[in-house]
Amino acid sequence: MCEELDIDPLRGIAIYNGCSNHILKELYAILGPFFKADVLCNNQSTLVEAETLKNRYHLEGLSLYECPHTAMLTCISKPVHTMFVSPENSHFQSLIDSPEYFLRCKQEDLDKFIQIEKESILEASKQVEDGGELIYFVPTLCKNETKRVVCDFLANNKNFKLVNEKQLFTFDPYKSILYFAILRKEESHD
């Protein structure tokens, strides 16, 4: 995913982690240990995971915060060029290891996750500078959590354009069902 991005660490990076993911490892592999980023975690578990990675890879440029998906503005002081958002989601990635996952999944839980995803992408979009990129990614096959969230967002936010989107599958080299969309915020001409 990161290979397809125009990441400019000098113009600012922020990450919202609503669930466990490997974005810090990917950024470390691409940018090395000296990049700066604000990392916002929705709970103690994701915060501890980010802190562990920060220490393991000596990522001294990371500022870590715990905040709900509706409070990103309280942690980011100015718009950033690259904003990653990985909100809480259905965790359909669990299907790889636990095929019975569908039996435990309830529609009301899925509806709750979809609402959180819609709120998260909207809140994250407010943190992106003109010309910057918003990267939305979730480990799921559920189109209501992927394409529909992005389509709804784009329909209501005309200043963003879809640059690329991709759905990975378990048979891909990455052994993942990750969906991601790269959205670019248009330059305002005021």
pLDDT in tens, 152-161: 999 999 999 9
CB 181 within 8 A of CB 151: no
Among 12-26, 66-80, 90-104, 167-181, the range scoring the smallest mean pLDDT is 90-104
- 3-state SS assignment for residue 125: helix
56: tokens are: 């393991």
Q: Write the pLDDT tens digit of every residue in 23-57.
A: 888 889 888 888 999 999 999 999 999 999 999 99
Residues 6+ apart with CB under 8 A from 47: 41, 64, 65, 66
CB 158 within 8 A of CB 127: no
Q: Write the pLDDT tens digit of every residue in 89-136.
A: 766 555 555 555 555 667 787 788 889 999 999 999 999 999 999 999
Q: What is the pTM of this model?
A: 0.85
